[in-house]
Amino acid sequence: MPLTLKSLSEFALGLSWEIEEATMRTSHAVVADGRVWLIDPVDQSEAMERVAALGEPAAVVQLLDRHNRDCARIAERLDVPHLKVPDDVPDSPFEAIAVLRMPRWRESALWWKDRNLLVVAEAIGTGPVFTTGHGAAGMHPMLRPLPPRALRGYAPEHLLLGHGAPVHGAAARGAIDFAYAHARKDILRMPLAIAKALRSLSYRASNTAAGAPRS
């Protein structure tokens, strides 16, 4: 079944696209000096057409070990490197941040200092399970008791996430601090947020099974 876009948004440094589904998978293409880095991409046809118009592809960057998505396939098709949970991104403006290095959770983030751009795959997101209904972004539920320290102190102008809509401008600058400040504080809000997400997933599944169009 063809993937449906929930949103495709351009910003000063590239574009982001979110798939219409409960998990809110979101992918990004970031442009620097006419070259394009695809980050945790999902191979959606309309989005990939727009990516092709941005410039010469440089690499596909997979920031989370389990975010296979379509990274390998797209890298092969474009004949560019597939960088999986990198410790550095050669010939790029990005600094790789080691967010987590655990046996079942290896995650990197990308920081472009000159453009105040931060890309986070999983530790922080903007979906309702992350934000628990308030704030621009929030910590992953499993990381709330002991949030990883690596992202503390970043105040990006552009915050791109692996799940949920990107955040730009003033909201982005305070989003990381908010996520850390509320990581433990909002644990009691989690059951309601998860219940809402499960209801949304059930609703979408029933509509799909019935052949109804996705909302």
Q: How many domains in the chain?
A: 1
Q: Is residue 45 included in any domain, yes or no?
A: yes
The 3-state DSSP composition of the chain as helix, strand, coil percent (nearest 5) reads: 30, 30, 40
Domain holding 151: CATH number? 3.60.15.10
Structure tokens at 168: 């730009």
108 phi and psi, to 5 degrees? -115, 160
Give residue-wise pLDDT tens across range 43-92: 999 999 999 999 999 999 999 999 899 999 999 999 999 999 999 999 99
Give residue-wise pLDDT tens across range 9-38: 999 999 999 999 988 999 999 999 999 999
Residue 208 confidence class, pLDDT cut points 50, 70, 90 = very low
Q: Is residue 209 included in any domain, yes or no?
A: no
Q: Is residue 215 included in any domain, yes or no?
A: no
* pTM of the shown model: 0.89
DSSP secondary structure, 152-211, as one string: TT---SEEEESBS--EETHHHHHHHHHHHHTTTTTGGGHHHHHHHHHHHHHHHHHHHHTT
* 21-25, 52-56, 160-164, 171-175: least confident range: 21-25
DSSP 89: -
Contact yes or no for 173/133 (Cβ under 8 A): no
Tokens 């967010």 appear where?
Answer: 99
- The tally of CA atoms less than 13 A away on the side-chain side of residue 159 is 27
**Domain limits for position 175:** 5-204
Q: Is residue 20 included in any domain, yes or no?
A: yes
Q: What residues contact 77, with CB distance under 8 A and at least 6 apart?
A: none
Q: Is residue 214 included in any domain, yes or no?
A: no
Q: Is residue 212 included in any domain, yes or no?
A: no
Q: Is residue 26 included in any domain, yes or no?
A: yes
Mean pLDDT of the 97-101 span: 98
